[in-house]
C-alpha cells in the first residue's frame, strides 16, 4: 500500500508542476482567470502530494539510496529537502497576497484598483521566488523518485 501511495504522491507533484507551468503561461498571456484556476489546481495537487507523502512516512515506508555517486545523490536530496521546506511558506505567501488582492478588487477585472494593486504587487514579488523553487522541488522530487526506483532499497523502519 505504501508503494502505491508513494507513486500517487509523485504523480500529484508532477501534475502540480505542470499546472504551475500553465499558470505562468496564462498570466504571461494576460489570461487572469485561467491563471487563477491553474494556480489553485497546482496548489491543491501539491497539498494532496503533501498529505500522501506524510502518510507514507507515517507508515514507516522509506527507501535508502544504494546506487553509485552517493555524494551527488545526497547533495540533490539535501537541496530538494531544504527548498521543499522553503516552498510551503513561499507558496502560502503568494496565495495570501493574491487572495487579499482579489478581495480588494472584488473581481479579476478590477485588479488594477489601487487597493488591489498593492496586494498583487506583493503577490508578484513573492512568486518571483516561489515559482522557480516550486519547479525545482517538483523536478528534483521526480528525479529522486526515479533514482530510488532504480537504486533504492526499501527500509520499513521495523
Q: How many angstroms from the chain centroid is the CA of residue 20? A: 8
Nearest-5° angle of CA 124, CA 126, CA 131? 90
At 108-118, the pLDDT tens digits run 888 889 989 99
- The CATH number that domain 2-155 falls under is 1.20.120
**H-type helices in 29-58, by residue range?**
32-58
pLDDT at 157: 55
pTM of the predicted protein model: 0.84
Where are the domains positioned within the chain?
2-155
At 84-128, the pLDDT tens digits run 999 999 999 999 999 999 999 998 888 889 989 999 999 999 999
Amino acid at each position: 500500500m505504501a508503494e502505491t501511495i508513494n507513486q500517487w504522491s509523485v504523480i500529484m507533484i508532477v501534475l502540480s508542476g505542470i499546472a504551475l507551468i500553465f499558470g505562468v503561461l496564462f498570466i504571461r498571456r494576460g489570461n487572469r482567470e485561467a491563471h487563477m484556476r491553474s494556480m489553485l489546481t497546482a496548489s491543491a495537487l501539491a497539498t494532496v502530494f503533501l498529505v500522501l507523502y506524510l502518510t507514507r512516512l507515517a507508515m514507516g515506508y522509506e527507501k535508502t539510496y544504494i546506487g553509485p555517486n552517493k555524494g551527488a545523490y545526497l547533495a540533490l536530496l539535501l537541496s530538494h529537502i531544504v527548498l521543499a521546506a522553503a516552498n510551503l511558506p513561499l507558496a502560502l505567501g503568494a496565495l495570501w497576497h493574491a487572495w487579499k488582492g482579489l478581495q480588494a478588487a472584488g473581481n479579476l477585472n478590477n485588479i488594477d484598483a489601487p487597493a488591489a494593486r498593492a496586494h498583487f504587487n506583493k503577490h508578484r514579488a513573492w512568486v518571483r521566488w516561489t515559482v522557480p523553487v516550486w519547479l525545482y522541488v517538483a523536478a528534483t522530487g521526480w528525479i529522486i523518485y526515479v533514482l530510488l526506483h532504480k537504486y533504492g532499497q526499501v527500509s520499513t523502519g521495523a
